[in-house]
Structure 1
Amino acid sequence: MHRITVIGGGLAGLTAAITVAEAGAKVTLHEAHHTLGGRARTTDGPYRTNEGPHALYNGGPHWTWLARRHLIGPLAPLPPLEATRLRLRHHGALRRTPPYAMLKLLHRATRHPAPTDTDFLTWATELAGEDGARAAAHYSAVALFHHDPGALSAAFVHERLRRATRLPPEAHYPRGGWAGLVDRMATHAWNLGVRLETGSRLDTLPDDSPVIVATSLDAARRLLGDDSLTWPSGRTALIDLALRTHPRSTGRTHTGDAFALSDLDAPGWLERFTAQDHTLAPTGEQLIQGQIPIAPHETKADGITRAEQLLDLGFPDWRERVTWRREAVATGRTGAVDPPGTNWRDRPAIDRGDDVYLAGDQVASPGVLCEVSFTSALTAASLALGRTRPEHTHA
């Protein structure tokens, strides 16, 4: 029987702990905070917000892994009417459909594999012109959180653009935010015998068992004393707003507010999460969350200003309807991005030697957004158990 230590109680840590416990290992999980979830925490109180979107894509192997264990739980259904209220800003004006050049790119891209060693803007411009390429790059920010998607690897961006535009949508939202999913995973881990130690920050590694380090890459670098543990990520201004329901709205129909608004002139996205999940805000209020990627030289104020410009377009009279507001910046906390000439295999390796393994959203594992955390955790767990062929490690 193995004894395995997991450091970090987010999605990656909980996935790793469950996997090795199911194999019969004795597991202790250490989480520095007093609550589990990592970046997948949901705030308490009347406004149930997350650090950015809380989507699960059903096209990845983690969906199957969760479903087999009955951990997905209730999902927030998108009312049919709301699906028609996606708005796009293009050349400063709102529109209901993507520009023709962007649609042409999406069509042609299905027949032209995106290269790894070329940036997305160059590759996409050759297929559909610069206007369509920039619009598509900016739309992809919903799954990238990066200020310049066009400068990243064409293969990396195209995979995310393809999955973000697929119909029917792959993205699904756990009802109530991440909290329910995290609670179900923690309960499952507990029932398997995992010892969950919250408020337990480790400054050194235990030397008597394999260790899975499922923290941010920054925290792993400090813990392991390994300066090579770096990889590019995004920097994003986050805004959360609660608005009184628009006066023209009746019942479940919100005729005055957009469901989601994507900026095709620059990377940015706003979404009214209460359109599909009324539990996230008190009755009579709407919860809007936005993410505006910002460059290294830009400030939070720059991002918030752009968010307010989008709000002016998609949410009439929003300034007079605000009941609650919160702003933040997420730096290096939005997952790995791959520059031209690199792919997920070039990121920091999961196997660090000496029975130490990494898991998280910036390590060498495939997938989109939180899928990377899941797949890396499964690989780390398999390696810690001594398996040679990890289960479900390819997207």
Structure 2
Amino acid sequence: MERIQSNTRTHIHVIGGGLAGLTAAITAAESGARVTLYEGHRTLGGRARTADGPYRTNEGPHALYHRGPLCTWLARRGLLGPVASVPLLEGLRFRFRRAGALRALPPAALLRLSRRNPRTAPVDATFQEWAAGQAGDEGARAAARFVAAALFHHDPGALSARFVQERFSRLTSLPPEARYPVGGWARLVERMAGHARGLGVAVETGARIDTRTLGELARTGPVTVATSLDAARVLLDDASLTWESGRTVLVDLAVRTRRGDPFIVSDLDAPGWLERFTAQDPGLAPSGEQLLQGQFPVGPDVPRAEGTARAEQLLDLGFPGWRERTTWRSEALADGRTGAVDRPGTTWRDRPAIVRGDGIFLAGDQVAAPGLLSEVSFTSGLEAALLAVKDAGGSSGRRSGSGVDLNRT
């Protein structure tokens, strides 16, 4: 990368080409700024990448939530593209593991708790304490394990009641909020990248930015660091950039199609979740095969093998004969890569701030921004870009409203 000579602050730089970085680049460019986006990998997408080949798995976010700000923002720009919702008949194949058996319905207490307004849940109490007072110990434990699908955390009951209930209420809303980008998240990334380039954003892939290069970029204009929090901590040499995240075993496998397989199996005996993603998007696997994706949170010192064993137990229960039917399998341990979780007494406002000083702004899924799952990356990227444009002195060029409420959780 050639050395930067200019000392004028008219150029906005975005480091990281994932969802947060693409959002920041588009927002800044829509405000009339000159923008360059730097991505260390050869392709854009970050954790929103979709695997190549016949089995189109995702590492990061799996669903959009249509009542959230990200869907609104994408739709207003014609970037949402085709999305699949949960098929009605498949929704009837939702199963729950309770007391070691597969059941068609969760405990009634879980359903009652799902209707509680999140604003009634206290920030300072644990979810288990508050929920037990609302629906009893059994309902509270079941709800905590169910909502682990949106938290990737081994003990949601120990987290802030407000934080968990906000996610629980959205995860259980009817009709379901979840919308799945057809073809995987890579299609959405391609649309966002094309839109960014159409706005004049210069995209440099394979661009490794280190601390020295960051300093050079910062002399020519504001910089948004839209990387993982671990990478940002090193790049900015800022030990304060830490926040708790989940630790979960990710299991992906393709099995030959069998009539009667469930759509989702939620483990209410221990946090765990299996979902048949080809139910809503058959093109994610070859004809005659089904793509299953699951996540099984484990504690800080628990070996990956324990999560794998729990996954196989749930597969045994929900997908009989899955071993003989398996045509492909992959698994990984995601540690600190699944978004922020808030302990009692904290909210998203207590996470690492977007504004870092000296024209540096931060975006990502563990940054001080509201939202569910991928919405945190989006809202932080949007806010970082708006602040960067303001820091650069604004623009006399075109402007576009964000079209979102940044205070929505």
TM range (shorter): over 0.9
Among 208, 217, 221, the residue aligned to 1:201: 208
Among 335, 341, 347, the residue aligned to 2:339: 335
What do the CA deviations read for 1:255-286 (whole angstroms, capped 9, x no partner)? 2x110110111111000001111110000000
Matches within 5 A, 1:1-395: 2-107=10-115, 109-110=116-117, 113-204=120-211, 205=214, 206=217, 207-246=219-258, 249=259, 255=260, 257-386=261-390, 391=402, 392=404, 393-395=406-408
How many angstroms does 1:110 deviate by? 3.1
- Taking the aligned partners of 2:155 and 2:81, their CA distance within structure 1 comes to 35
How many angstroms does 1:53 deviate by? 4.8
What do the CA deviations read for 1:220-270 (whole angstroms, capped 9, x no partner)? 000000000000000010000100111xx3xxxxx2x11011011111100
* Alpha-carbon spacing, 1:223–1:53, altered in 2? closer, same or farther (3 Å): closer
What do the CA deviations read for 1:180-216 (whole angstroms, capped 9, x no partner)? 0000000000111101000001002112210000000
- Taking the aligned partners of 2:48 and 2:120, their CA distance within structure 1 comes to 33
- Taking the aligned partners of 1:91 and 1:299, their CA distance within structure 2 comes to 24
- What percent identity do the matched residue pairs reach? 66
2:295 counterpart letter in structure 1 = Q
Q: Which residue of 1 aligns with 2:3?
A: none
- Taking the aligned partners of 2:49 and 2:332, their CA distance within structure 1 comes to 15
- Taking the aligned partners of 1:331 and 1:97, their CA distance within structure 2 comes to 31
* Alpha-carbon spacing, 1:284–1:62, altered in 2? closer, same or farther (3 Å): same
- Taking the aligned partners of 2:323 and 2:389, their CA distance within structure 1 comes to 55
1:290 counterpart letter in structure 2 = G
Please tell me whether the aligned partners of residues 30 and 199 of structure 2 are also in contact (alpha carbons under 8 angstroms): yes
Q: Residue 249 of structure 2 aligns to a residue in which SS?
A: strand
Q: TM (normalized to structure 1)?
A: 0.95
Q: Which residue of 2 aligns with 1:252?
A: none
1:152 counterpart letter in structure 2 = L
Q: Which residue of 1 aligns with 2:6?
A: none
Please tell me whether the aligned partners of residues 375 and 394 of structure 1 are also in contact (alpha carbons under 8 angstroms): no
- Taking the aligned partners of 2:356 and 2:182, their CA distance within structure 1 comes to 37
How many angstroms does 1:128 deviate by? 1.3
Please tell me whether the aligned partners of residues 52 and 290 of structure 1 are also in contact (alpha carbons under 8 angstroms): no
- Taking the aligned partners of 1:328 and 1:227, their CA distance within structure 2 comes to 27
- Taking the aligned partners of 2:69 and 2:109, their CA distance within structure 1 comes to 33
How many angstroms does 1:89 deviate by? 0.6
- Taking the aligned partners of 2:118 and 2:315, their CA distance within structure 1 comes to 36
Please tell me whether the aligned partners of residues 118 and 169 of structure 2 are also in contact (alpha carbons under 8 angstroms): no
- Taking the aligned partners of 1:230 and 1:112, their CA distance within structure 2 comes to 27
Please tell me whether the aligned partners of residues 48 and 61 of structure 2 are also in contact (alpha carbons under 8 angstroms): no
- 4+ residue runs over 4 A deviation: none
What do the CA deviations read for 1:55-100 (whole angstroms, capped 9, x no partner)? 0011211211111001110112432211100000111111111112
- Taking the aligned partners of 2:177 and 2:271, their CA distance within structure 1 comes to 21
1:303 counterpart letter in structure 2 = G
How many angstroms does 1:394 deviate by? 2.1
Please tell me whether the aligned partners of residues 10 and 38 of structure 1 are also in contact (alpha carbons under 8 angstroms): yes
1:240 counterpart letter in structure 2 = D
How many angstroms does 1:366 deviate by? 0.5
Q: Residue 169 of structure 2 aligns to a residue in which SS?
A: helix
The runs of 5 or more residues in structure 2 that have no matched partner are 1-8, 395-400
* Alpha-carbon spacing, 1:112–1:352, altered in 2? closer, same or farther (3 Å): closer
Aligned length: 385
2:331 counterpart letter in structure 1 = E
- Taking the aligned partners of 1:331 and 1:195, their CA distance within structure 2 comes to 32
* Alpha-carbon spacing, 1:112–1:184, altered in 2? closer, same or farther (3 Å): closer
- Taking the aligned partners of 1:217 and 1:80, their CA distance within structure 2 comes to 39
Q: Residue 243 of structure 1 aligns to a residue in which SS?
A: strand
- Taking the aligned partners of 2:163 and 2:138, their CA distance within structure 1 comes to 20
* Alpha-carbon spacing, 1:293–1:111, altered in 2? closer, same or farther (3 Å): closer
- Taking the aligned partners of 2:61 and 2:407, their CA distance within structure 1 comes to 24
